[in-house]
Amino acid sequence: MLITSLYNYWIVIALMMIGLYMVVAQGNLIKKIIGLNIFQTSVFIFYISVGKVDGGAAPILIEGENVYSNPLPHVLILTAIVVGIATTSLALALVIRIMRAYGSVEEREIQAEEEKREIQAEQEKREMQAEEVQC
């Protein structure tokens, strides 16, 4: 009974967990962003659920209606949606630049690339020191 009557909250929790799991488990940066989006969307649905009043009408003046749903959470979440879009676009812009700089959007490959470069830098430094000694 409890499960079915509060099904919207169960959906929220399920989406939230799926989103968080994707962010943590996926190595692909685009998939991470998708996960982040699902995570944020679950919160949007949560707010919208909170605003709904049982048997309430849409919050516009209608004759003969006394019970209205609460519009405030919906307005709040409009702001949060805008923030979410801004975050997503910034994240995608970063991914484009990461792709240009590293040639990959896989977390593992980017880290491997960095390690390779560090080893190279180390080697160059050693060679330079060796040359100095020879001089």
Partner 1 sequence: MLSHLPILQVILPLVAAPSCMLIRRSSLVWFFSLLVSAGALVVSVLLLQQVIDSGPISYRLGGWEAPWGIEYRIDLLNAWVLLVVTGLGTAVIAAARQSVQREMDDLRQTLFYTLYLLCFAGLLGIVATGDVFNVFVFLEISSLATYALIALGRDRRSLWAAFQYLIMGTIGATFILIGIGFLYMMTGTLNMADLALRLPELGSSSTVLAAFAFIVVGVCLKLALFPLHMWLPNAYAFAPSIVTAFLAATATKVALYLLVRFIVTVFGIDFSLTSLPLQSLFIGLGLVGVFVASVVAIYQVDIKRMLAYSSVAQIGYMVVGIGISSVVAMQATLLHLFNHALMKGGLFLALAGLVYRLGSSRIDAFNGLGRTMPWTMAAIVIGGISLIGMPLTVGFVSKWYLITAAIESDMWLVALLVVLGSLIAAIYVWRLVEAGYFRQAPAGGDVTVGEAPLSLLVPTWILIGANIYFGIDTRLPVEVTGAVAQYLLGGIQ
> Which residues are at the interface with partner 1 (CB under 8 A)?
20, 23, 29, 32, 36, 39-40, 43, 46-47, 50, 72-73, 76, 79-80, 83, 86-87, 90-91, 94-95, 97-98, 101-102, 110, 114
CA 77 → CA 49, 51, 64, 102, distances in Å? 11, 10, 28, 36
Nearer to partner 1, 18 or 20 (CB): 20
Q: Is 102 exposed, middle or buried (0-12, 13-18, 19+ CB in 10 A)?
A: middle
Nearer to partner 1, 63 or 131 (CB): 131
Nearer to partner 1, 53 or 62 (CB): 53
Nearer to partner 1, 57 or 95 (CB): 95
* Residue 58: strand, helix, or coil: coil
Task: Report, in Å, the least distance between residue 40 CB and partner 1.
Answer: 6
CA distance 69 to 126: 71
Task: Report, in Å, the least distance between residue 3 CB and partner 1.
Answer: 17
CA distance 111 to 116: 9
